[in-house]
């Protein structure tokens, strides 16, 4: 099999899930004839028809609300946000209606909300966001943010089959930049499990999505200097794989968290707290973090590059931490 | 068979249907009267929202649904819940936050549902969100071949939310079998409808989405039922959605804490004289649809049911504290399976496959621009406006619909 992009892997997951189960339907803006703004859903309409590939008005609240209603009859809708930034338009529907139904009145909502997220492509302040933490803070939602084509395909399949609403973030910087050979046979990747991308003994770098690749780049640089960094890819932010995080910290005794989300209220703060509560005595240095600035995502390349983390920033933070 | 106002033949409302409507309206009021007492005894944990004076809407609309149909009530639709098969004990225990309540104390009031048996979706407090949700239930029901109609309610206040408009627009573009009942009870908390919506008939909002929209007297149980029955039939025939505006009055404050002193006294009196239950009793009397014995039997049935369910609620425990930790996710506790009433082969390849191309009915332009543009279209529009104004002058005004059922012998069609 030829290597495929992350975008193609996501497309394959949708095709295979819709082929496997006619209860799976797709809904969103421009996802049919046009094939979606990034062409993730290209070909779906031809194969599955208008009843299963539903083109909607520009109406995020209606899309998510209707998907939730569909899920109550046992359908498993996959909803596309044209850009994940636009999920803010249906914040109430997601956080108050979809997320709380199972806890409050025993109504599971098996649905996926997926869409392109993240910066680094000069999309400007309204097409570059990482809004995962608004939702990680909402009990009842699962948050998935893969970094590789293999994981994207396997996790999207798991998300479709999950009985809970899953928010599936697709980093658009990775859409066509990362390629990987995928198994021919059917597979899934479990939600809620982190994976070790690189073994190391000196410190742990925890990351996800595009920053996972940045972290690996930094780790390669650090290796030349004799620092062996372990790189862990969270893959799922909610539920968080606490065991994997704590196990690595207990092994390396130093923790650096890297995310593209802005600093204050990012997942790094939560993980730092988790480690302090559960592995404080295993730490040999302060928990460090490299994140984006606490600003909107700026447009100009010079500004955006300054805003985002990069391998040099990660390596610099790791060097400081390694001194302890 | 009699004739409806649009000339279509309609089935008359039977005596049994009339007695059912009466029973549920009375039960609705009895349950709420009882909850008032519980509130005064400090046994209701949170707020209590009265539907006094709006019972004809809750009951008359829900009574038009079949068992397989789906509904999502709002806070003042206790009557709709009762019609759909919810027991008074569920309403009492919900308000008292008991462990035996449908949500086991996790939410209160009418915030509960039943996916499997009664097909009720729970409301949330943010107004309008149920509209896209029930549009989605309707779309899914059609997809699965279940032949269901869905219904939800919204108030005059809620009709200004984005979710209302997004949901109605999606339902309209999808021609979803969905009935939206817009209860215009004149007040959104303390703000009169005139300060919320710059139109008098809120059914106009539905017409903006190109869907059938009608206005009925919300205190006339038979008018509400007939309009709802017609709407449900229209949706089942594939011509939904339909919006029904039911004009009524919220006779109490927003909730029990609110004395509603902002409501002009004369307005309250006007509506007090139009109590839907009193009006309906007069109708039953005038048409010899019951006698004193039948009335007593209904009252005794309701009293016994309310007493029994109240005892159940009062004797129920509060939930154990640790329940608070449970149930955020479905971890296999629900088996989720769609119920197919059509062959799956219709929605799987090769049968599902289509050509990915748009077919457009017209090109969306204004024809006058073909004859030169440069103001031609504006002149044409002005001319056509003049013509339609003249036509409107010539057309007779629609017959005014009287309050209640009007004097005997002069009632509108379909009664």
* A260-286 pLDDT per residue, tens: 999 999 999 999 999 999 999 999 999
Please tell me which residue of chain A has the smallest CA distance to B329: A140
Give me B169's structure tokens: 């627009």
**Are A82 and A39 contacting, i.e. CB atoms less than 8 angstroms apart?**
no
Same domain for B262 and B352? no
Same domain for A147 and A43? yes
Asked if A69 and B136 come within 8 Å (Cβ–Cβ), the reply is yes
Asked if B138 and A75 come within 8 Å (Cβ–Cβ), the reply is no
Contacts of A142 in chain B (CB under 8 A): 329
Same domain for B131 and B253? yes
pLDDT (0 to 100) of residue B391: 66
B204 found inside a domain:
yes
Same domain for A159 and A207? no
**Are A249 and A280 contacting, i.e. CB atoms less than 8 angstroms apart?**
no
User: Cα distance from A298 to chain B (closest Cα, Å)?
Assistant: 29
User: Cα distance from A273 to chain B (closest Cα, Å)?
Assistant: 21
In angstroms, the CA B112 to CA B90 distance is: 9
Q: How buried is residue A96: exposed, middle or buried, by Cβ count under 10 Å (0-12/13-18/19+)?
A: middle
Of the candidates A51, A40, A43, the one whose C-alpha atom is nearest the C-alpha of residue B142 is A51
Quote the percentage of chain A above a pLDDT of 90: 100
Same domain for B279 and B381? no
In angstroms, the CA B355 to CA B281 distance is: 59
A168 found inside a domain:
yes
Q: How buried is residue B66: exposed, middle or buried, by Cβ count under 10 Å (0-12/13-18/19+)?
A: exposed
pLDDT (0 to 100) of residue B412: 45
B76 found inside a domain:
yes
Please state the three-class secondary structure of chain A as a single string.
CCCEEHHHHHHHHHHHHHHHCCCEEEEECCCCCCCCCCCCCCCHHHHHCCCCEEECCCCHHHHHHHHHHHHHCCCEEEEECCCHHHHHHHHHHHHHHHCCHHHHHCCCCCCEEEEEECCCCCCCCCCCCCCHHHHHCCCCCEEECCCCHHHHHHHHHHHHHCCCCEEEEEECCCCCCCEECCCCCCCCCCCCCCEEEECCCCEEEEECCHHHHHHHHHHHHHHHCCCCEEEEECCEEECCCHHHHHHHHHHHCCEEEEEEEECCCCHHHHHHHHHHHHHHHHCCCCCEEEEECCCCCCCCHHHHHHHCCCHHHHHHHHHHHHCC
Same domain for A50 and A170? yes
A-to-B residue pairs, Cβ atoms closer than 8 angstroms:
186
Q: Which of B111, B170, B328 sits opposite A59 (nearest CB)?
A: B170
Of the candidates B279, B179, B182, the one whose C-alpha atom is nearest the C-alpha of residue B229 is B179
In angstroms, the CA B213 to CA B246 distance is: 11
Residue A318's domain spans which residues?
A: 195-322
* A153-172 pLDDT per residue, tens: 999 999 999 999 999 999 99
Contacts of A74 in chain B (CB under 8 A): 140, 144, 336-339
A155, A180, A205 - which closes a domain: A180
Cα angle B190-B195-B199, degrees, rounded to a multiple of 5? 130
Same domain for B69 and B117? yes
Asked if A273 reaches chain B (Cβ–Cβ under 8 Å), the answer is no
Asked if B350 reaches chain A (Cβ–Cβ under 8 Å), the answer is no
In angstroms, the CA B374 to CA B371 distance is: 9
Give me B133's structure tokens: 């949700």
Asked if B338 and A163 come within 8 Å (Cβ–Cβ), the reply is no
Same domain for A219 and A88? no
Give me B29's structure tokens: 């009021």
Q: Which of A67, A72, A92 sits opposite B121 (nearest CB)?
A: A72
In angstroms, the CA A275 to CA A184 distance is: 39
Most B CBs within 10 A among A43, A69, A97, A141, hence the mutation to make, goes to A69
pLDDT (0 to 100) of residue B11: 82
Report residue A269 CA to chain centroid gap. 17
Chain A residues 246-265 with a CB less than 8 Å from chain B: none
B296, B325, B354 - which closes a domain: B325
A117 found inside a domain:
yes
A268 found inside a domain:
yes
Same domain for B358 and B253? no
Contacts of B144 in chain A (CB under 8 A): 73-75
Asked if A36 reaches chain B (Cβ–Cβ under 8 Å), the answer is no
Strand partners, A180: A4
Q: Which of A22, A64, A139 sits opposite B347 (nearest CB)?
A: A22
Q: Which of A32, A48, A59 sits opposite B169 (nearest CB)?
A: A59
Same domain for A119 and A96? yes
Which residue's entry shows tokens 């979710």?
B163
User: Cα distance from B144 to chain A (closest Cα, Å)?
Assistant: 9
Same domain for A171 and A285? no
Please tell me which residue of chain A has the smallest CA distance to B162: A61
In angstroms, the CA B313 to CA B308 distance is: 9
Asked if B330 reaches chain A (Cβ–Cβ under 8 Å), the answer is yes
Same domain for A129 and A218? no
Quote the percentage of chain A above a pLDDT of 70: 100
Of the candidates A162, A153, A219, the one whose C-alpha atom is nearest the C-alpha of residue A181 is A153
In angstroms, the CA B196 to CA B209 distance is: 19
**Are B82 and B100 contacting, i.e. CB atoms less than 8 angstroms apart?**
no
Same domain for B177 and B117? yes
In angstroms, the CA A188 to CA B199 distance is: 54
Asked if A166 reaches chain B (Cβ–Cβ under 8 Å), the answer is no
Cα angle A165-B144-B69, degrees, rounded to a multiple of 5? 90
Contacts of A23 in chain B (CB under 8 A): 338
pLDDT (0 to 100) of residue B12: 87
Asked if B124 reaches chain A (Cβ–Cβ under 8 Å), the answer is yes
Cα angle B344-B350-B354, degrees, rounded to a multiple of 5? 105
Of the candidates A162, A131, A158, the one whose C-alpha atom is nearest the C-alpha of residue A267 is A131
Same domain for B245 and B387? no
Asked if A73 and B122 come within 8 Å (Cβ–Cβ), the reply is no
Cα angle B345-B347-B352, degrees, rounded to a multiple of 5? 100
Strand partners, A132: none
Residues shown for chain B:
415
Asked if A173 reaches chain B (Cβ–Cβ under 8 Å), the answer is no
B285 found inside a domain:
yes
In angstroms, the CA B327 to CA A94 distance is: 17
Which SS3 state, helix, strand or coil, does residue B245 take?
strand
A288-314 core/surface letters (b: 16 or more CB in 10 A; e: else): bbbbbeeeebbeeeeebeebbbbbeeb
Question: In terms of DSSP bridges, do strands A142-144 and A236-238 run parallel, antiparallel, or are they unpaired?
Answer: antiparallel
Number of domains forming the structure of chain A:
2
Most B CBs within 10 A among A73, A99, A162, hence the mutation to make, goes to A73
pLDDT (0 to 100) of residue B415: 35
Question: Complex ipTM above 0.95?
Answer: yes
Same domain for A151 and A30? yes
Q: Which one of the listed residues A102, A122, A127, A171 is annotated catalytic?
A: A127
Asked if A72 reaches chain B (Cβ–Cβ under 8 Å), the answer is yes
Asked if A50 reaches chain B (Cβ–Cβ under 8 Å), the answer is yes
Q: What is the CATH number of the domain that holds A290?
A: 3.40.50.920
Which SS3 state, helix, strand or coil, does residue B51 take?
coil
Asked if A103 reaches chain B (Cβ–Cβ under 8 Å), the answer is yes
Q: Residue A208 pLDDT > 70, yes or no? A: yes
Give me A316's structure tokens: 């610099």
Give me B252's structure tokens: 């109490």
Same domain for A43 and A102? yes
* B384-413 pLDDT per residue, tens: 777 777 766 666 555 655 455 544 555 444
Same domain for B350 and B223? no
* B50-75 pLDDT per residue, tens: 999 999 999 999 999 999 999 999 99
B90 found inside a domain:
yes
A127, A156, A180 - which closes a domain: A180
A185 found inside a domain:
no
Asked if B137 and A70 come within 8 Å (Cβ–Cβ), the reply is yes
A133, A148, A180 - which closes a domain: A180
Asked if A236 reaches chain B (Cβ–Cβ under 8 Å), the answer is no
Residue numbers in chain B where pLDDT is lower than 50:
1-5, 402, 406-407, 411-415
B120 found inside a domain:
yes
Residues with Cβ < 8 Å from B26, sequence gap 6 or more? B277, B298, B299, B302
Same domain for A154 and A205? no
Peptide bond into B288 cis (omega under 30): no
**Are B180 and A78 contacting, i.e. CB atoms less than 8 angstroms apart?**
no
A97 found inside a domain:
yes
Of the candidates B262, B228, B268, B266, the one whose C-alpha atom is nearest the C-alpha of residue B248 is B268
Of the candidates B181, B210, B158, B223, the one whose C-alpha atom is nearest the C-alpha of residue B13 is B223
Asked if B335 reaches chain A (Cβ–Cβ under 8 Å), the answer is no
A186 found inside a domain:
no
Structure confidence at residue A291 as a pLDDT band (50, 70, 90): very high
Q: Which of B106, B136, B337 sits opposite A103 (nearest CB)?
A: B106
**Are A115 and A90 contacting, i.e. CB atoms less than 8 angstroms apart?**
no
Q: How far, CA to CA in Å, does B396 sit from each of A146, B83, B200, B272, B393?
A: 66, 40, 20, 33, 8
Same domain for A203 and A176? no
Same domain for B121 and B31? yes
Contacts of A39 in chain B (CB under 8 A): none
Asked if A65 reaches chain B (Cβ–Cβ under 8 Å), the answer is yes
Q: What is the CATH number of the domain that holds A79?
A: 3.40.50.970
In angstroms, the CA A190 to CA A162 distance is: 10
Residue B372's domain spans which residues?
A: 344-394
Same domain for A8 and A106? yes
A188 found inside a domain:
no
Asked if B86 reaches chain A (Cβ–Cβ under 8 Å), the answer is no
B335 found inside a domain:
no
Most A CBs within 10 A among B116, B336, B339, B341, hence the mutation to make, goes to B336
Task: Kindly report whether the global pTM for this prediction surpasses the value 0.95.
Answer: no
Q: Is A259 a catalytic residue?
A: no
In angstroms, the CA B89 to CA B140 distance is: 31
pLDDT (0 to 100) of residue B408: 55
Same domain for B288 and B353? no
In angstroms, the CA B152 to CA B76 distance is: 12
Number of domains forming the structure of chain B:
2
pLDDT (0 to 100) of residue B377: 67
User: Cα distance from B227 to chain A (closest Cα, Å)?
Assistant: 25
B407 found inside a domain:
no
Contacts of B353 in chain A (CB under 8 A): 46-49
Asked if B360 reaches chain A (Cβ–Cβ under 8 Å), the answer is no
Same domain for B39 and B105? yes
Contacts of A75 in chain B (CB under 8 A): 140, 143-144, 338
Same domain for B127 and B210? yes
Tell me the pLDDT of chain A averaged across its residues: 98
A187 found inside a domain:
no
Which SS3 state, helix, strand or coil, does residue B338 take?
coil
* A6-51 pLDDT per residue, tens: 999 999 999 999 999 999 999 999 999 999 999 999 999 999 999 9
């Amino acid at each position: 099999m030829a290597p495929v992009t992350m975008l193609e892997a996501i497309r394959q997951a949708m095709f295979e899930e819709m082929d496997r189960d006619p209860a799976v339907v797709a809904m969103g803006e421009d996802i049919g004839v046009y094939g979606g703004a990034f062409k993730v859903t290209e070909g779906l309409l031809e194969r599955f028809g208008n009843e299963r590939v539903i083109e909607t008005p520009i109406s995020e609240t209606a899309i998510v609300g209707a998907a939730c209603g569909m899920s109550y009859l046992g359908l498993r809708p996959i909803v596309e946000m044209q850009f994940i930034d636009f999920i803010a338009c249906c914040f109430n529907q997601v956080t108050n209606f979809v997320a709380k139904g199972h806890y409050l009145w025993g109504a599971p909502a098996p649905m996926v909300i997926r869409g392109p997220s993240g910066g680094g492509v000069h999309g400007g302040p309204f097409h570059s966001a990482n809004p995962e933490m608004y939702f990680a803070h909402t009990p009842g939602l699962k948050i998935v943010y893969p970094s590789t084509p293999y994981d994207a395909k396997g996790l999207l399949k798991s998300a479709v089959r999950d009985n809970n609403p899953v928010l599936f973030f697709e980093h658009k910087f990775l859409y066509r930049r990362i390629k990987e050979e995928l198994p021919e046979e059917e597979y899934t990747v479990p939600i809620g499990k982190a994976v070790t991308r690189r073994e190391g003994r000196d410190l742990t770098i925890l990351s996800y999505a595009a920053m996972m690749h940045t972290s690996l780049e930094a780790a390669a640089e650090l290796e030349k200097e004799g620092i062996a960094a372990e790189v862990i890819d969270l893959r799922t932010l909610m539920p968080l794989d606490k065991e994997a995080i704590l196990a690595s910290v207990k092994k390396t005794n130093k923790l650096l968290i890297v995310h593209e989300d802005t600093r204050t209220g990012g997942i790094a703060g939560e993980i730092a707290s988790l480690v302090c509560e559960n592995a404080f005595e295993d730490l040999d240095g302060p928990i460090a973090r490299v994140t984006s600035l606490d600003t909107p995502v700026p447009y100009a390349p010079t500004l955006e590059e300054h805003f985002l983390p990069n391998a040099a920033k990660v390596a610099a933070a790791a060097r400081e931490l390694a001194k302890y | 068979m009699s004739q409806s106002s649009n000339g279509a033949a309609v089935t008359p409302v039977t005596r049994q249907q009339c007695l059912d409507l009466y029973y549920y309206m009375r039960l609705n009021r009895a349950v709420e009267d009882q909850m008032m007492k519980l509130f005064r005894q400090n046994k209701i944990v949170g707020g209590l929202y009265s539907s006094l004076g709006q019972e004809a809407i809750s009951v008359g609309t829900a009574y038009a649904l079949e068992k397989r149909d789906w509904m999502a009530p709002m806070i003042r639709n206790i009557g709709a819940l009762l019609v759909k098969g919810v027991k008074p004990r569920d309403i009492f225990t919900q308000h008292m936050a008991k462990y035996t309540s449908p949500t086991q104390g996790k939410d209160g009031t009418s915030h509960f549902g039943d996916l499997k048996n009664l097909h009720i979706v729970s409301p949330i407090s943010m107004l309008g969100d149920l509209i896209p949700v029930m549009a989605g239930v309707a779309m899914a029901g059609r997809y699965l071949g279940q032949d269901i109609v869905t219904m939800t309610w919204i108030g005059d206040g809620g009709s200004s939310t984005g979710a209302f408009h997004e949901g109605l627009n999606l339902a309209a573009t999808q021609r979803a079998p969905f009935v939206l009942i817009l209860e215009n009870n004149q007040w959104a908390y303390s703000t009169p409808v005139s300060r919320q919506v710059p139109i008098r008939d809120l059914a106009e909002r539905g017409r903006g989405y190109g869907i059938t929209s009608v206005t009925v007297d919300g205190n006339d149980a038979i008018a509400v039922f007939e309009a709802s029955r017609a709407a449900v039939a229209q949706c089942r025939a594939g011509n939904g959605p339909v919006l029904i505006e039911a004009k009524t009055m919220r006779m109490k404050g927003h909730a029990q804490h609110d004395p509603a002193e902002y409501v002009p006294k004369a307005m309250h009196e006007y509506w007090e004289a139009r109590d839907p239950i009193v009006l309906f009793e007069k109708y039953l009397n005038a048409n010899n649809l019951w006698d004193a014995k039948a009335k007593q039997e209904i009252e005794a049935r309701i009293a016994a049911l309310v007493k029994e369910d109240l005892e159940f609620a009062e004797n129920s425990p509060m939930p154990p504290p640790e329940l608070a930790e449970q149930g955020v996710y479905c971890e296999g506790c629900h088996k989720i399976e769609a119920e197919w009433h059509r062959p799956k082969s219709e929605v799987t390849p090769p049968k599902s496959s289509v050509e990915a191309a748009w077919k457009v009915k017209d090109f969306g332009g204004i024809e006058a621009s073909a004859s030169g543009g440069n103001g031609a279209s504006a002149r044409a529009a002005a001319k056509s406006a003049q013509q339609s104004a003249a036509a409107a002058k010539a057309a007779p005004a629609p017959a005014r619909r009287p309050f209640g059922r009007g004097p005997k012998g002069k009632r509108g069609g379909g009664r």
